[in-house]
Amino acid sequence: MPTIELASCEAGSSILEITAATGIFTPVEVACVEELWNEYRHMGKASDYVFLVYREEGRIVGYACFGPHPLTSGAYDLYWIAVDPFAQHRGIGRALLARVETEVKDRKGYLLLIETSSAPPYAAARHIYESSGYRCEAIIRDFYGRGDHLHIFVKDLEQTFQQGVLALDCVPVLA
């Protein structure tokens, strides 16, 4: 039976392997995940990061990392979510996202923000966010590089957004 649980110390190598295996993240991004993981592992609850892992038959096949947004009273960021390529397209990413939402609500959070790229490899992620009730609140053009825009998705966890109009809500803020 698949489970989603807080990551234990032994999960680090699987998290980094999954991050690299997706083929989407750059070496710098993989190093960023490692940095966040190390803070989580060393500081535990004192860390600003929480890692959840998705296990099938004891094997970690996906993870999510989230944490409180600094200087806010209830906003959280989803920093990373990734699923091993062999396990993709089975609802694992959606299950992790739903669990993150539950965890945020349990921590008295009400707003979840997700930043992602406009590059084609991120299209599936953007689709999952939109179909899970997230609204594209802003686009910052050329943020990651020329032609690679930052998309900022948001979901008020105390409200339900109407699906079907989400993509229309996405308006550029900076050109």
φ, ψ for residue 45 (rounded to 5)?
-65, -20
What is the per-residue pLDDT for 44? 84
Which residue from 148, 154, 157 is spatially nearest to 118, judged by alpha carbons? 148
> Taking the domains of the chain in order of start, what are their residue ranges?
1-109, 114-175
- Which has the closest alpha carbon to 36: 55, 21, 50? 50
pLDDT digit string (tens) for 150-167?
A: 999 999 999 853 333 343
Q: What is the pLDDT of residues 78-133, one digit of tens each?
A: 999 999 999 999 999 999 999 999 999 999 999 999 999 999 999 999 999 999 99
What the block records as the tokens of 154 is: 């948001």
Rg (CA), the chain: 16
Give the homologous superfamily in CATH for domain 1-109.
Gcn5-related N-acetyltransferase (GNAT) (3.40.630.30)
The highest-level CATH class for domain 114-175 is alpha beta
Within this chain, domains 1-109 and 114-175 share the same CATH topology: yes
Contact 49, 67 (CB under 8 A): yes
Helix orientation angle between 27-43 and 12-21, rounded to the nearest 10 degrees: 160
Q: Which amino acid is at 81?
A: I
Q: Note the pTM of the prediction, 2 decimals.
A: 0.88
